[in-house]
Amino acid sequence: MHLILGGTFDPVHHGHLRMAVELRERLGVDRVALVPCHIPPHREQPGTRSEDRLALLKLAIAGEPGLTVDDRELNRQGPSFTAETLSQLRDELGPREPLAMVVGMDSFAGFHRWRDWRRIPELAHIIVVNRPGAELEPQSEPAQLLNQRKAAAINELHGRPAGLCLALDLPLLEISATGIRERIRSGRSPRYLLPDPVWQAIRDRGLYRDEV
């Protein structure tokens, strides 16, 4: 199974990294690919250049064979549409290999506003990670999708290439990139919220200091 975790990673932190490790173990896969987006269509634009976010990600996963970075969205022009990324991956993997994308419940609540969202379950499984405070409107389209395609157990995902939805509870760290950016901007330390080499590179590059 090929498993991807997309995000802005502005910057990557221990919340992302722990989630990726927990997922890798729960799903029983060799690797999780972190996919930084170039221009996120559904949220505020990252204040940091793609190449800086990518460099920080590479530092964060250095020496960890279970995590990789897939920078394909940074090499594409224009907004990063997940359907397009999954379609490229499907072409590369062939029709039979299971492909799964991971998304936090907070993002999944707006899934029906993603470009070509109905194509996504045709291309991949969707693993929705529960996050405190994030709930679905029971009648909403994402809630219906989750119900209609619900996998009874993790193992089912390995038996089909795409099409299932799985809501997963994982032990999560209460860390957000927003909180890290705010700390740096106001001169407080983000140490221990993210890997030390990432914090060092943020200082070397002078990132997040003068964001508005």
Q: Show contacts with ligand ATP in window 94-133 (CB under 6 A).
A: 103-104, 106-107
Q: Is 69 in the site for ligand ATP (CB under 6 A)?
A: no
Q: Measured from the CB atom, is 16 or 24 closer to ligand ATP? A: 16
Number of residues that bind ligand ATP (CB under 6 A): 17
Among 178, 192, 196, 211, binds ligand ATP (CB under 6 A): 178
Among 91, 113, 160, 173, binds ligand ATP (CB under 6 A): 173
Q: Is 190 in the site for ligand ATP (CB under 6 A)?
A: no
Question: 66 CB contacts (<8 Å, ≥6 apart)?
Answer: 20, 21, 24, 30, 31, 32
Q: Show contacts with ligand ATP in window 9-38 (CB under 6 A).
A: 9-10, 15-16, 19
Edge to edge, the sheet with strand 2-7 lists 67-69, 32-36, 2-7, 99-104, 125-129, 165-168
**Helix locations, 13-49, DSSP H:** 14-27
**Helix locations, 33-191, DSSP H:** 50-61, 82-93, 105-108, 120-123, 141-148, 177-185
Piece of 62-70, 137-145, 170-178, 190-198 that binds ligand ATP (CB under 6 A): 170-178
Closest CA to 76 of 64, 88, 90: 88
Q: Is 80 in the site for ligand ATP (CB under 6 A)?
A: no
User: Could you say which DSSP state residue 12 is in?
Assistant: -
Binding site for ligand ATP (CB under 6 A): 7-10, 15-16, 19, 103-104, 106-107, 172-173, 175-178
